[in-house]
């Protein structure tokens, strides 16, 4: 079995969260949590750390299993397969959403005259190639992309420092704690994605360091999003931020380099696309692996084409337009995601603990 | 986009679930259609679901009959395929040495095809009546050695004891009379015929079931010259030659260590070319050496090996990749340096180009100069890396920016580009395609034509094509600049075979840039990156130490840090002896 090291897992998980996280939730959270958006990001980050602890704890009982296999071992075959089926749907839908997010963003801000379907098709095809080559290859690509994404993000955070106005985030908790909690639940869609750690756990060559691969991505994502929230609030104020589609992109747009190069956002978008490529490949990889797990297949290569086709079709038929995509993520997906990211693993964990206490032996596949 | 959260949430949720199912069901049709392909066993799982066998025993699917039959069939097929691709070694008919002298000469003569350059010299041993035949190939033998060390002692042979039988005489000849270092015995005339053709002299003697071969080789060869392809400013100016023996000597001279091992074997059923696998026994990873040996088995089955490129194609990992996965060199010093990093060298008789395995991506943008000049000289590497990207992406960037993203170009530059492009009838892509195509034509012409008329081509290229095309407003000056910069950049890549990959890929990236703009370039870049990190050279990841990342070993990638920093060998090659030198060799002023 191919193995990846801790650094690769860190890069992979970070790249599976960051690309959409820096674009999509900023406006939604400004809308829901208002001035306290940064607090909501922070809270969601803490939730993500909690989830990391849960996942690492759960997986330390079953170091050679991924989440679905643990589910089947803990919950029994029948119920376990039911959970696996649910996760198959979850991963396929998630991949479709991300593909749609990608093409919607590209069309709305970069390539206005290109058909959305075409962009989705290219991305899905590219991702299928990466999946065909395997997780090891995806994680190696993510290493290279991770470095460039990280440096470009840091670069833009540093550029913002002179204009930062920390008074814009005051007063804290002006409208109570509830909007913050609401916002953090929305952003938990992203920090909750750290539960993918469980899906790559069997691939880690040093499972003892798995917590590093969980903590660092959550910390990085939270840091950049909190920074982003403070930046957008100092530049635009939260009310205006909530009305812009992609506030951080708008911030990048107003940056000019040396009074000479004005429109550098295209470069940012390119780096973002690279990140998106990793994200989509990884999500589709998990979808394929979960289907493989559902039917106990020996290998997954022949599943790539149908899954890719499925994701492509779904990404187009699921939403009519970008606004619907946004409200779906904000209103509906924020209910679904914690269920799969948090509550099912928690259920597995509690069941396992209970079984251990009662003394029932779990089936080891 | 701002609508209030949850105004008609229930309806939308239902619609989403519906769409969701709608989307999923055709997908499963696709799945079911897909499983008709023979290579999978999805069928069995689906049937199991349908027949209610699922999910109660699903975990045992692997061990169940249906699947195991499929697996066994697959395995069997695979094995057959492997068996087909690795046939048994080609068997030569056996020609045991006959007793009678006449018989021997006849068989050997037939084996050698009664060719006129093969000489059968019959003479008597000393003044006795024992007849000996010396067989050798004219022109391949050193006449002096032959006369002084072979014919003279044998013809003036004096039998000390009387009435010795032929076997005893043969032994005494071997032990006391033939004054040549390298001799060998064969009991098969087929082997003997090969050594005749390599320049040895074969002695046939009445009543002996063996033949004696004496090394009298003097093969036609050129002298050691300067390297033609890999010229450097500072460093040794010797290159390998065509002769394997000379090349081995060149390596030995630089690496006086008992661990240096040469494993020779022959490949090519017709050319019977000698090939040497060279490595340091206590240093190179045994796994890699074993892998090299295993792959070199393949050359036995081919009929000719004329150049290292032919071996390269037989032993490389991904034959369809545009990127070369095996580096070649004609510099003995470079070969020695690679041996000391734990790599394996493959020398091939008849060509000065030797193969270096395993090869990493970065070796193609490094030269021996980087290590001979002081560390500051290695900043050129950064330049070469930039040249790599320029050679691959610059024309595409120009196409993408001028066609799709004019807003990204600073205004003043945009104006000058557009002024220059005024009156040019083609879009930027066609313009770039024409100019790049013409440049490739010129380059190919420059390689093939004799040096005397080379000037004519450069005049035609520079003046007629460049100047006239601009004046005729067929291409813009900006495009000529782009093509020229691209060309110079691709000449900066030291490895020719690597630059070929860039030349081909450049056109692909240009097409993508013309259709999708910057996004197309990025798609190309991501595809190439994915391809590159998936490549392996003899099992070693091609892009190491960047991906998989090893920060400590990046010190010899983008820059070469000073020699006293490099105290360990590259760990990716898993050398047995990890330490290159003790640490703390940094020159320091005396403390006193």
The pLDDT of A73-102, averaged and rounded, is: 92
Q: Percentage of chain B with pLDDT > 70?
A: 84
**Is A364 inside a domain boundary?**
no
Long-range contacts of B370-375 (CB under 8 A, 24+ apart): B370/B560, B371/B337, B371/B560, B372/B232, B372/B234, B372/B235, B373/B233, B373/B234, B375/B559, B375/B560, B375/B561, B375/B562
**What is the tens place of the pLDDT at every residue in B473-508?**
888 888 889 999 999 999 999 998 999 999 999 999
Quick one: tokens of B193? 């015929």
Distance CA A68, CA B255 (A): 56
Q: How far is B563 from chain A, CA to nearest CA, in Å?
A: 27
DSSP string, B334-379: HHHHHHTTT-EEEEETT-S-EEEES--GGGGG--THHHHS-GGGGG
The pLDDT of B116-124, averaged and rounded, is: 88
Q: Computed from CA positions of residues A283, A285, A291, A296, in that sequence, does the dihedral angle turn out positive or negative?
A: negative
Nearest alpha-carbon partner for B401 in B517, B249, B263, B314 = B517
Q: A291 pLDDT exceeds 50?
A: yes
Please indicate, yes or no, whether the overall pTM of this predicted structure exceeds 0.90: no
In which band, very low, low, confident or very high, does the pLDDT at A244 lie, cut at 50, 70 and 90? confident
Q: Do the Cβ atoms of A302 and B42 come within 8 Å?
A: yes
SS3 state at B244: helix
**What is the tens place of the pLDDT at every residue in B505-546?**
999 999 999 999 889 999 999 999 999 999 999 989 999 888
Nearest alpha-carbon partner for A14 in A236, A251, A198, A222 = A222
Q: Do the Cβ atoms of B24 and A7 come within 8 Å?
A: no
Whether the Cβ atoms of residue B45 and residue B55 lie closer than 8 Å to each other: no
Give residue B92's pLDDT. Answer: 62
Q: A253 pLDDT exceeds 50?
A: yes
Q: How far is A42 from chain B, CA to nearest CA, in Å?
A: 23
The strand pairing partners of B227, in sequence order, are none
Which residues of chain A lie closer than 8 angstroms to B5, CB-CB?
32, 327, 330-331
Which residues of chain A lie closer than 8 angstroms to B541, CB-CB?
140
Averaged confidence pLDDT in chain A: 88
Distance CA B451, CA A65 (A): 67
In which band, very low, low, confident or very high, does the pLDDT at B48 lie, cut at 50, 70 and 90? very low
Question: How many domains is chain A built from?
Answer: 1
Whether the Cβ atoms of residue B237 and residue B372 lie closer than 8 Å to each other: no
SS3 state at B569: coil
The strand pairing partners of B118, in sequence order, are B137
Which residues of chain A lie closer than 8 angstroms to B37, CB-CB?
302
Q: A158 pLDDT exceeds 80?
A: yes
Q: Do the Cβ atoms of B24 and A305 come within 8 Å?
A: no
Of the listed ranges A145-159, B83-97, B183-197, B392-406, the least confidently predicted one is B83-97
Q: B316 pLDDT exceeds 70?
A: yes
The values of phi and psi at residue B366, to 5°, are -115, 150
Q: A130 pLDDT exceeds 90?
A: yes
**What is the tens place of the pLDDT at every residue in B52-86?**
333 333 343 344 444 555 556 666 666 665 555 44
Find the residue in B nearest to A278 (Cα): B526
Give residue B52's pLDDT. Answer: 39
SS3 state at B52: coil
CB atoms within 10 A of CB B578: 13
Highest mean pLDDT among A7-16, B119-128, B215-224, B562-571: A7-16
Nearest alpha-carbon partner for B187 in B162, B212, B151 = B212
**CATH number assigned to the domain comprising residue A226:** 1.20.1740.10
The pLDDT of B543-572, averaged and rounded, is: 87
Half-sphere exposure of A200 (CA within 13 A, CB side): 34
SS3 state at A66: coil
Whether the Cβ atoms of residue A19 and residue A272 lie closer than 8 Å to each other: yes
Give residue A24's pLDDT. Answer: 82
Distance CA A56, CA A211 (A): 6
Averaged confidence pLDDT in chain B: 82
In which band, very low, low, confident or very high, does the pLDDT at B150 lie, cut at 50, 70 and 90? confident
Q: B43 pLDDT exceeds 70?
A: no
Which residues of chain A lie closer than 8 angstroms to B389, CB-CB?
none
Whether the Cβ atoms of residue A278 and residue A138 lie closer than 8 Å to each other: yes
Q: B352 pLDDT exceeds 90?
A: yes
Which residues of chain B from 10 to 49 reach within 8 Å of chain A, CB to CB? 12-13, 16, 19-20, 22-24, 26-27, 30-31, 34-35, 37, 39-42, 45-46, 49
Quick one: tokens of A115? 């058909």
Collect all residues with Cβ–Cβ distance below 8 Å to A259 and sequence separation of at least 6: none
- The answer, for B59 touching chain A at a CB cutoff of 8 Å, is yes
Highest mean pLDDT among A97-111, A240-254, B151-165: A97-111
Burial B337-361 (b: 16+ CB within 10 A, else e): bbbbbbbbbbbbbbbbbbbbbbbbb
Where do we find the tokens 């801000």?
Answer: A109
Which of A126, A262, A322 lies nearest to residue B527, judging by beta carbons?
A126
SS3 state at B243: coil
Collect all residues with Cβ–Cβ distance below 8 Å to B496 and sequence separation of at least 6: B229
Q: Do the Cβ atoms of A318 and B62 come within 8 Å?
A: no
Q: How far is A119 from chain B, CA to nearest CA, in Å?
A: 9
SS3 state at B264: strand
Collect all residues with Cβ–Cβ distance below 8 Å to A248 and sequence separation of at least 6: A22, A23, A26, A228, A231, A232
**Is A297 inside a domain boundary?**
yes
Q: Do the Cβ atoms of A302 and B35 come within 8 Å?
A: yes
Q: B378 pLDDT exceeds 70?
A: yes
The pLDDT of B550-557, averaged and rounded, is: 87
Nearest alpha-carbon partner for B364 in B308, B404, B402, B325 = B325
**Is A139 inside a domain boundary?**
yes
**Is A63 inside a domain boundary?**
yes
Which of A93, A273, A305 lies nearest to residue B20, judging by beta carbons?
A93
Stated as kind and residue range, the H or E segment containing A185 is helix A178-191
Which of B13, B26, B548 lies nearest to residue A332, judging by beta carbons?
B13
Higher-confidence residue: B259 or A331? Answer: B259
Higher-confidence residue: A364 or A48? Answer: A48
Which of A89, A243, A263 lies nearest to residue B2, judging by beta carbons?
A243
In which band, very low, low, confident or very high, does the pLDDT at A281 lie, cut at 50, 70 and 90? very high
In which band, very low, low, confident or very high, does the pLDDT at B11 lie, cut at 50, 70 and 90? very low
Q: How far is B299 from chain A, CA to nearest CA, in Å?
A: 29
Higher-confidence residue: B264 or B113? Answer: B264
The strand pairing partners of B96, in sequence order, are B188
Q: Percentage of chain B with pLDDT > 90?
A: 34
**Is A312 inside a domain boundary?**
yes
- In chain B, what's the furthest Cα-to-Cα distance? 123
Find the residue in B nearest to A261 (Cα): B410
Distance CA B323, CA B504 (A): 10
The pLDDT of B230-251, averaged and rounded, is: 92
| C-alpha distances in Å from residue B541, one per residue of B128, B193, B298 | 68, 44, 23
Q: A159 pLDDT exceeds 60?
A: yes
Give residue B49's pLDDT. Answer: 41
Q: B10 pLDDT exceeds 70?
A: no
Give residue A220's pLDDT. Answer: 94
| Alpha helices (H) along B449-555 | 454-459, 468-471, 477-492, 496-516, 518-534
**What is the tens place of the pLDDT at every residue in A22-50?**
888 888 888 888 888 889 999 999 999 99
For the purposes of burial, counting CB atoms within 10 Å of the CB of B216, is it exposed (0-12), middle (13-18) or buried (19 or more)? Answer: buried
Q: Do the Cβ atoms of B529 and A245 come within 8 Å?
A: no
The pLDDT of A195-218, averaged and rounded, is: 92
Segments forming the whole domain that contains residue A240: 6-338
**Is A120 inside a domain boundary?**
yes
Distance CA A99, CA A276 (A): 9
Q: How far is B518 from chain A, CA to nearest CA, in Å?
A: 8
């Amino acid at each position: 079995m191919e193995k990846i090291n801790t650094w690769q897992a860190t890069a992979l998980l970070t790249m599976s969260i960051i690309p959409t996280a820096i674009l999509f939730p900023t406006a939604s959270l400004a809308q829901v949590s208002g001035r306290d958006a940064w607090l909501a990001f922070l809270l969601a980050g803490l939730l993500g750390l909690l989830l990391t602890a849960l996942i690492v704890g759960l997986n330390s009982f079953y170091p050679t299993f991924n989440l679905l296999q643990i589910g089947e071992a803990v919950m029994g075959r029948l119920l376990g397969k039911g959970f696996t089926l649910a996760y198959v749907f979850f991963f396929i839908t998630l991949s479709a959403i991300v593909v749609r997010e990608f093409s919607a963003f590209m069309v709305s801000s970069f390539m206005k005259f290109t058909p959305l379907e075409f962009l989705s098709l290219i991305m899905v095809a590219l991702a299928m190639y990466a999946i065909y080559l395997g997780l090891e290859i995806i994680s190696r690509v993510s290493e290279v992309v991770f470095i460039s994404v990280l440096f470009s993000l840091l670069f833009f955070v540093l550029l913002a420092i002179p204009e930062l106005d920390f008074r814009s985030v005051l007063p804290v908790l002006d409208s109570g704690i509830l909007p913050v909690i609401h916002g953090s639940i929305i952003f938990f869609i992203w920090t909750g994605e750290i539960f993918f750690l469980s899906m790559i756990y069997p691939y880690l060559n040093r499972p003892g360091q798995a917590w590093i691969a969980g903590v660092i991505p959550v910390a990085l994502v939270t840091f950049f999003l909190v920074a982003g929230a403070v930046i957008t609030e100092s530049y635009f104020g939260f009310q205006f931020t909530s009305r812009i589609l992609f506030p951080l992109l708008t911030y990048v747009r107003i940056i000019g380099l040396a009074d000479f190069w004005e429109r550098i956002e295209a470069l940012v978008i390119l780096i973002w696309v690279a990140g998106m490529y990793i994200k989509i490949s990884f999500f589709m990889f998990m979808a394929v692996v979960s289907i493989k797990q559902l039917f106990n297949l020996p290998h997954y290569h022949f599943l790539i084409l149908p899954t890719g086709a499925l994701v492509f079709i779904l990404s187009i038929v699921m939403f009519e337009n970008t606004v619907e995509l946004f409200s779906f993520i904000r209103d509906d997906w924020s209910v679904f995601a914690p269920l799969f990211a948090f509550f099912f693993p928690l259920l597995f964990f509690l069941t396992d603990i209970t079984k251990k206490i009662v003394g029932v032996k779990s089936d080891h596949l | 986009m701002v609508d209030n959260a949850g105004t008609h949430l229930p309806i939308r949720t239902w619609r989403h679930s519906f769409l969701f199912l709608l989307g999923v069901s055709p997908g499963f049709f696709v799945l079911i259609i897909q499983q008709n392909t023979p290579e999978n066993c999805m069928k069995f799982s689906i049937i199991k679901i349908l027949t209610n066998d699922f999910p109660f025993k699903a975990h045992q699917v692997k061990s169940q009959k249906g699947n195991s039959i499929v697996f066994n069939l697959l395995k069997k097929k695979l094995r057959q395929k492997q068996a087909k691709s690795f046939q048994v070694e080609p068997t030569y008919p056996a020609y045991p040495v006959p007793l009678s002298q006449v018989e021997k000469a006849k068989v050997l003569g037939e084996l050698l095809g009664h060719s006129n350059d093969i000489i059968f010299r019959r003479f008597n041993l000393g003044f006795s009546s024992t007849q000996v035949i010396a067989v050798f190939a004219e022109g391949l033998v050193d006449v002096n050695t032959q006369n002084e060390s072979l014919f003279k002692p044998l013809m003036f042979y004096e039998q000390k004891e009387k009435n010795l039988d032929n076997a005893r005489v043969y032994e005494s000849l071997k032990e006391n009379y033939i004054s040549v270092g390298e001799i060998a015995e064969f009991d098969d005339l087929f082997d003997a015929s090969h050594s005749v053709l390599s320049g040895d002299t074969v002695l046939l003697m009445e009543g002996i079931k063996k033949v004696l071969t004496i090394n009298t080789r003097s093969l036609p060869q050129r002298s050691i010259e300067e390297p033609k392809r890999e010229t450097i400013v500072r460093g040794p100016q010797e290159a390998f030659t065509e002769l394997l023996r000379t090349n081995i000597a060149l390596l030995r001279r630089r690496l006086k260590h008992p661990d240096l091992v040469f494993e020779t074997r022959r490949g090519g059923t017709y050319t019977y070319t000698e090939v040497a696998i060279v490595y340091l026994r206590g240093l190179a990873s045994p796994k890699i050496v074993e892998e090299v040996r295993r792959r070199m088995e393949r050359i036995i089955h081919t009929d000719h090996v004329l150049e290292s490129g032919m071996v390269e194609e037989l032993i490389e990992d991904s034959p369809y990749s545009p990127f070369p996965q095996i580096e070649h060199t004609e510099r003995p010093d470079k070969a020695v340096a690679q041996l000391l990093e734990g790599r394996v060298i493959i020398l091939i008789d008849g060509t000065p180009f030797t193969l270096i395995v395993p090869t990493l991506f970065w070796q193609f943008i490094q030269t021996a100069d980087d290590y001979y000049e002081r560390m500051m000289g290695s900043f050129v590497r950064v330049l070469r890396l930039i040249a790599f990207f320029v050679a691959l992406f610059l024309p595409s960037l120009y196409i993408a920016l001028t066609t799709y993203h004019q807003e990204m170009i600073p205004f003043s530059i945009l104006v000058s580009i557009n002024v220059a492009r005024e009156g040019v009838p083609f879009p930027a892509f066609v313009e770039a395609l024409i100019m790049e195509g013409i440049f490739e034509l010129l380059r190919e012409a420059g390689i093939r034509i004799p040096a005397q008329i080379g000037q004519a081509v450069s005049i035609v290229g520079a003046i007629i094509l460049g100047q006239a095309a601009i004046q005729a407003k067929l291409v813009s000056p900006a495009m000529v600049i782009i093509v020229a910069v691209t060309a110079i950049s691709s000449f900066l890549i030291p490895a020719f075979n690597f630059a070929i990959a860039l030349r081909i890929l450049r056109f692909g990236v240009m097409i993508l840039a013309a259709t999708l703009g910057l996004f197309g370039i990025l798609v190309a870049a991501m595809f190439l990156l994915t391809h590159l990190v998936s490549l392996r050279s003899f099992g070693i990841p091609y892009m190491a130490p960047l991906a998989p990342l090893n920060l400590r070993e990046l010190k010899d990638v983008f820059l070469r840090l000073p020699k006293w920093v490099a105290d360990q060998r590259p760990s990716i090659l898993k050398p047995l002896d990890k330490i290159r030198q003790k640490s703390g060799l940094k020159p320091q002023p005396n403390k006193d």
